[in-house]
Structure 1
Amino acid sequence: MGYVFFWIAFCIVVAIVARSKGRSGIAWFFLSFLISPLLSLILVLVLKPAEVEVVVDEVGFDGSRDLNNDAYKLFLSKKYDIQKNDVFNKFVCREQMYPTIEEALVYAHGLEQELTAIRKSKLLDGGQIECCKCGGKNPADTSDCRYCGYKLET
């Protein structure tokens, strides 16, 4: 009986290690249960961490992030609240004025690229983001920490 308990406990350890490397914990649990927890653990430890997919923004845009894409331009103008100021006859984005909408969109696109780079750098194993305020681990597609409410964007 103790051998079965040890076998299952070791399979759970393999699943946890696999999950920390971005792999399916359930699949590795059953694989280790069928072949051998020790052999499975060695395999999991040798594997490189799985690639994490690019995070879809909370607004939901998942198309081509190219300034020639009209849908992306619309996404940027909504997310960064780009508006035309009729008094100055300029476009405003994040309290900065630009003579043309294209220049405002280029600025917003730069902000979006910085945000994407920051989010990628904050990704932990398993595709999570660590809150810099409380240290809580949050799903990569969230904008606020689920533990302390701190805004995860810069």
Structure 2
Amino acid sequence: IAVIALLSALNANLYGASRMMYSLASRGEAPRWLGRTNARQVPLIAVLASVLFGFGATVLELLYPDKVLPVLLNVVGSTCLLVWTLTLVSQLILRRRAERNGTPLPFRMAGFPYLTVLALAILALIFALLLSTPETRLQFLSMAVFTAFIALCSGLARRLRRA
């Protein structure tokens, strides 16, 4: 049962990663060749890239036991925290903008803005804890630098497409 559950999770993540690459390529935010599909509309190159990354990570974990997996887990965890932070900040800004412009909202979060600010405060505490220990500090700072690098590259690519 555990093997079937793991294979199911692997399949779902493989699908999600390949579709994300396909979507980014379709919008011009990733290399175009990742957006090519076969006759059945499967982004085969994106699927293969996802599989190769998985195999590469597995081989590296076998070569360097207990080094690769913790790094990947920390990067994924830090990235999830960053996504939540950006989502909450976006909600604060966009909800206030919608209310100022009189835009009707189909769904209103209860306790706004207090619960949003509370969630941001909890995330700030988590970030402070990550920065307080040497093991997680490097992972967190690496994620922050890498995220800034991706944002910079994305902004430059957007400017180049407009020009």
Scaled by the length of structure 2, the TM-score of the pair is 0.30
Scaled by the length of structure 1, the TM-score of the pair is 0.32
Higher helix share: 2
Higher strand share: 1
